[in-house]
Amino acid sequence: MLRCVIVDDEVLAREILHNYLSRLEGIGDVHSFGNAYDALTYLNTEIADVLFLDIEMPNLTGIEFLKSLLNPPITVFTTAYRNYAFEGFELGVIDFLLKPIAFPRFVQAVDKVREFMALKAQQIQVDASPVNASPDTIFVKSGVQRIRLALDSVTYIQGLKDYAIIHTDTGNIVLKGSIKTMETLFPPNRFIRVHKSFIVALSRISRLERNRLLLNASHIPIGRNFRSNLETALSSIR
């Protein structure tokens, strides 16, 4: 049962999200707050699984609020301003919902939260010394099982605080470890870091735009400090 917190200074926005949550199964307590200070007081003593957080709020913005939390819940930004998406990813936000939020898109965000929580609970780790290792695979461990992960199947890796979500053709894997740790696991001739929170497979890039990449149907942000290396890497494989 997901324990949810909604923080938004607009009454209608809170009511919409509350209504959306009421239509889903597996939702536990839902607490709504019209300002960040009240939510901060609540989260300092109570546990929540997911936080739906507006950004443009008076006195204390959603970004300032999130930075002030020592152990923030899994966070989904809900905002009318598209330009905050990149900063959200740097803060470990799992998804970014642009207002007005359609119900199917909201369900997609909740499903992403559930999937992350389920994969995180599996406690999958990198197997640092696997038998029969090759340049085309890495091994991960889930309990006593060892799983061979083909590098060709990986599209991109997203850092989320102390975890990394490896997106593959057949599903996702969540590993304990920072994005910087992931950078050492994936060969630099095939994968490149394009943002503080993203590593992508060079072969999967279908389009380079001004501030983002297109990988199949996924849009990946490009960090300002990473663009030059990315353009160099792409020019070398054309």
Q: What percent of the chain has pLDDT above 70?
A: 95
Q: H or E stretch including 231?
A: helix 227-236
Specify the 3-state DSSP secondary structure of 28: strand
Residue type, 222: I
Rounded average pLDDT over 92-116? 94
Rounded average pLDDT over 40-62? 93
Over 60: is that where the pLDDT of 132 sits? no
Structure confidence at residue 175 as a pLDDT band (50, 70, 90) = confident
149, exposed or middle or buried, with CB in 10 Å at 0-12, 13-18, 19+? buried
Radius of gyration of the CA atoms of the chain, in A:
19
pTM listed for this prediction? 0.82
Query: Quick check: bond before 100 cis, omega within 30?
Result: yes
- CA–CA separation, 167 and 173 (whole Å): 7
Rounded average pLDDT over 17-45? 95
162 or 117: which leads in pLDDT: 117
Please give the distance of CA 121 from its chain centroid, rounded to a whole number.
16
Structure confidence at residue 130 as a pLDDT band (50, 70, 90) = low
pLDDT of residue 52: 98
Rounded average pLDDT over 67-91? 84
Structure confidence at residue 129 as a pLDDT band (50, 70, 90) = low
Structure confidence at residue 238 as a pLDDT band (50, 70, 90) = low
Over 70: is that where the pLDDT of 86 sits? no
Domain 124-236 sits in which CATH superfamily? LytTr DNA-binding domain (2.40.50.1020)
**Domain residue ranges of the chain, discontinuous segments joined by +:** 2-121, 124-236
Using left for φ > 0, alpha for ψ between -120 and 50, and beta otherwise, residue 162 falls in alpha
pLDDT of residue 81: 81
pLDDT of residue 236: 77
Nearest to 167 by CA among 207, 198, 136, 124: 198
The string of DSSP codes covering 72-126 is PPEEEEEES-GGGHHHHHHTT-SEEEESSPPHHHHHHHHHHHHHHHHHHHT-EEE
Record the tokens describing residue 221, joined without a space: 């942000």
Mean pLDDT score of the chain: 89
Using left for φ > 0, alpha for ψ between -120 and 50, and beta otherwise, residue 133 falls in beta
pLDDT of residue 209: 85
99, exposed or middle or buried, with CB in 10 Å at 0-12, 13-18, 19+? middle
CATH topology classification for 2-121: Rossmann fold (3.40.50)
pLDDT of residue 85: 67
Over 70: is that where the pLDDT of 76 sits? yes
Over 60: is that where the pLDDT of 165 sits? yes
Record the tokens describing residue 123, joined without a space: 């406690």
